[in-house]
């Protein structure tokens, strides 16, 4: 397994995981903290972790989603466990069945798809927090409680932007629940516990350390091994409070560690989902970028701060307020804007219809503007079920493409402002972040309007000996650069 050869820490983590699996194979997982830990805990730490686990485990449930595509996207991102499969083949009971490991993705299925992860009870009346990636496309969701009883759950709401979902189950008595903590005071290197529920294993414990946090504090990077059973699981501090939610997703797959949503961000989302079933966010309608030192000097700014407007979307609050490309937003309602991430967080924290003031740097002077925020447009990819199917395959990219025709624009709800080539099909979703319903705007920074334009760019990249190609996509109005590996044909 190549990951073993990458670093000593990878070898240590893998050996720790083998130790846990060995305990499972002998019939008992036990109460340990070794699933992703790189050093042996002291007796005091073991006792504390054991007591914490026993208490938290009463509120952690297994979530099983069923649907035509339930959970397939995030489960495909679970790390490869070929080494562990080989370990059990060599050292397991001869002729015996392979154990159903909680860290491995399920075998490919046809027809209905099934996905399993975890969740935790956050309210004694039966509200359960889990991951959006697990249940967003599910037709049915079932919850298995620690006592082994199972029942169908209602999806109260889910939020694709933060990756949180909220379920509800019926109960004639109060259920044991976890309480929210805060990640604000956590220090780097601090040990954190994650508690999950795995089919055939019961409670599963993983430990890791806080390795980093996003600049806005909304996401935590935990140095432990991502695993499908922990999707939707709570991350606990040493007092047993929930300080983050393991939402899974592409960030986790790319880092090889766990990217979790902080409790400070998750709590607000859960409360809004419980109240209305949706999350209302303010929307400004600009594409922004950081202000570098060179840009600040060119614009006459004393410091490299604020968010520079790269583009103003037409018919948006920003356009109506008079924002222009090249403006630098320095403050929103008196709160300083340190950069693009800060501005996005501030706007998203406001409600549609809120009237706010903007301090803008324009032409060597500060300008005050007033803007009335709108509702954030849906971020889901358009429904492609009724899309025309006469696309053209581009094998080098693994995509099926078609120019944007009037019929396709009407089917996908695209305006004339969106230009490019439509993605009708993706041969291997694990190969690239591109999805059906995306629009390819440019390839290698050259705008494209036809499939032939894309082919020419691919041919040129191949001739230059490139192994991948840079594509700019438009997804529900948001533009992102994506690199696609070129297949050898």
Instruction: Please give the chain's pLDDT, 489 residues, in tens.
Output: 333 233 333 333 333 332 333 323 333 222 323 333 344 556 556 555 666 778 888 999 999 998 754 444 443 433 334 434 443 444 444 444 444 444 444 344 344 577 889 999 999 999 999 999 888 888 899 999 999 899 999 999 988 888 999 999 998 889 999 999 998 888 898 889 899 888 877 888 888 899 988 877 788 989 887 778 899 999 998 888 999 999 876 555 555 678 899 999 899 899 989 988 888 788 898 888 888 888 888 888 888 999 988 888 888 999 999 999 889 999 999 999 988 878 988 888 888 888 999 999 998 899 999 999 987 765 444 544 444 456 788 888 989 999 988 888 888 878 787 889 999 988 887 777 888 889 999 888 788 999 999 999 988 888 888 788 888 888 877 777 777 888 765
Q: Which helix (H) or strand (E) holds 269?
A: helix 263-276
Q: Is 448 exposed, middle or buried (0-12, 13-18, 19+ CB in 10 A)?
A: buried
- Give the chain's domains with CATH numbers: 12-279 (2.40.10.120), 282-375 (2.30.42.10), 392-485 (2.30.42.10)
Q: What pLDDT shows up at residue 446?
A: 86
Q: What pLDDT shows up at residue 454?
A: 92
Adjacency order of strands within the sheet including 140-144: 150-152, 140-144, 60-67, 113-123, 127-131, 164-168, 154-159
Beta bridge partners of 375: 282
For residue 387 the two structure tokens come to 């899309």
Distance CA 308, CA 244 (A): 31
Q: Determine the angle formed by the axes of helices 82-91 and 8-25, rounding to 10 degrees.
A: 50
Q: What pLDDT shows up at residue 489?
A: 55
Q: What pLDDT shows up at residue 48?
A: 59
Long-range contacts of range 287-295, CB-CB < 8 Å, 24 or more positions apart?
287/311, 287/313, 287/479, 288/329, 288/340, 288/343, 288/344, 289/340, 290/339, 290/340, 291/328, 291/339
Nearest partner of 250 among 429, 61, 29, judged by Cα: 429
Q: What pLDDT shows up at residue 465?
A: 83
Distance CA 359, CA 361 (A): 7
DSSP characters over 44-80: HHHHHHHHHHHHHHTTEEEEEEEESSTTHHHHTTSPP
């Amino acid at each position: 397994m190549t990951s073993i050869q990458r670093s000593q820490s990878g070898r240590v983590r893998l050996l720790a995981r083998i130790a846990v699996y060995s305990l499972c194979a002998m019939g008992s997982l036990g109460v340990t903290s070794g699933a992703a830990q790189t050093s042996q805990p002291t007796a005091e730490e073991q006792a504390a972790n054991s007591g914490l686990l026993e208490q938290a485990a009463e509120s952690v449930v297994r979530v099983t989603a069923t649907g035509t595509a339930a959970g397939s996207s995030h489960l495909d991102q679970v790390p490869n466990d070929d080494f562990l499969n080989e370990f059990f083949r060599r050292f397991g009971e001869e002729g015996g069945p392979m154990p159903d490991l909680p860290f491995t993705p399920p075998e490919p299925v046809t027809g209905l798809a099934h996905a399993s992860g975890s969740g935790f009870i956050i309210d004694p009346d039966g509200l359960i927090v889990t991951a959006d990636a697990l249940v967003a496309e599910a037709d049915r969701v079932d919850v298995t409680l620690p006592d082994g009883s199972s029942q169908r759950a209602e999806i109260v709401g889910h939020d694709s932007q933060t990756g949180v979902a909220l379920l509800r189950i019926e109960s004639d008595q109060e259920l044991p629940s976890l309480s929210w903590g805060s990640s604000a005071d956590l220090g780097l290197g601090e040990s954190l516990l994650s508690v999950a529920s795995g089919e055939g294993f019961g409670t599963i414990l993983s430990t890791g350390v806080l390795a980093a946090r996003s600049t806005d504090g909304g996401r935590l990077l935990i140095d432990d091994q991502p695993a499908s059973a922990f999707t939707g699981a709570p991350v606990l501090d040493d007092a047993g409070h929930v300080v983050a939610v393991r939402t899974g997703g592409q960030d986790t797959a790319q880092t090889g560690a766990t990217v979790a949503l902080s409790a400070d961000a998750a709590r607000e989302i859960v409360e809004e989902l419980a109240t209305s079933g949706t999350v209302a966010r303010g929307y400004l309608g600009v594409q922004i970028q950081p202000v570098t030192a060179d840009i600040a000097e060119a614009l006459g700014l004393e410091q490299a701060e604020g968010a520079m407007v790269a583009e103003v979307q037409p018919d948006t609050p920003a356009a109506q307020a008079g924002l222009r490309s090249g403006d630098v937003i320095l403050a929103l309602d008196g709160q300083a804007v340190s950069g693009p991430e800060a501005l996005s967080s501030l706007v998203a924290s406001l409600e549609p219809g809120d009237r706010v003031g903007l301090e803008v740097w324009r032409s060597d002077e500060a300008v005050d503007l007033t803007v009335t925020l709108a509702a954030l447009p849906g971020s889901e990819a358009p429904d492609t079920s009724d899309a025309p199917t006469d696309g053209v395959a581009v094998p080098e990219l693994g995509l099926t493409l078609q120019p944007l025709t009037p019929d396709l624009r009407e089917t996908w709800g695209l305006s004339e402002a969106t230009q490019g080539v439509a993605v009708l099909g993706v041969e291997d979703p694990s190969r690239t972040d591109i999805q059906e319903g995306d629009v390819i705007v440019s390839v290698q920074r050259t705008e494209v309007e036809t499939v032939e334009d894309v082919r020419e760019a691919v041919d040129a990249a191949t001739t230059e000996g490139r192994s991948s190609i840079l594509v700019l996509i438009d997804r529900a109005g948001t533009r992102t650069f994506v690199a696609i590996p070129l297949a050898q044909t």
